[in-house]
Amino acid sequence: MKDKMANCAGFAAVARDDARVLILGSLPGAESLKQRQYYAHRQNSFWKIMAALIGAAPGLPYESRLERLMQHGIAVWDVCASAHRAGSLDANIQSPVANDLPTFFAAHQALTLLCFNGLAAEKLFHRLIAPDMPRTLSFLPGIALPSTSPAYAAMQLERKLLLWRAALERHMIIA
């Protein structure tokens, strides 16, 4: 049975003023939207990776996980504020509306790294955000990391963790 196209609206950014790393996804999946939590699908490896890096384990209450992210200088948001999509696959995103990332960047001057949670987030960023970025905000280095989505099963969790650790380690605040 074909999934019905739905209007999906994302969440507010999770960030403190001293954020050093911004992790950008594309748009929350169906389970995340249902639970109103970033990376809520139990097979998504985001919280497993954050458990290994900063102790934000999936078993902790959601608010505690978010607090751990912020304590370590990590911000989380999505490229898309909203879009139409059937199911949860990034390939099904249609009519995306971008979040106001230039304003976010201007308000978070301590950022040293922009990480894309998967290639779809990077492609959406370059299509929706980058063309309108003021030159003064184009200084931020960006890196596409392996998607933590359960739809990206081509890479084992251990390899994903290795790549995420290598990218984030020197940018995080050591709490």
Residue 172's nearest CA partner among 57, 48, 23 is 23
φ, ψ for residue 98, nearest 5 deg? -80, 150
Which letter, b or e, does each residue of 108-130 get, where b requires 16 or more Cβ atoms within 10 Å of its Cβ?
Answer: beebebbbbbbebbbebbeebbe
Which residues lie below 8 Å from residue 100, measured CB to CB, with a gap of 6+? 81
Residue 90's nearest CA partner among 32, 133, 138 is 32
| Distance of alpha carbon 48 from alpha carbon 82, whole angstroms | 26
Catalytic residues, by residue number, are 44
Strands 94-98 and 142-145: unpaired
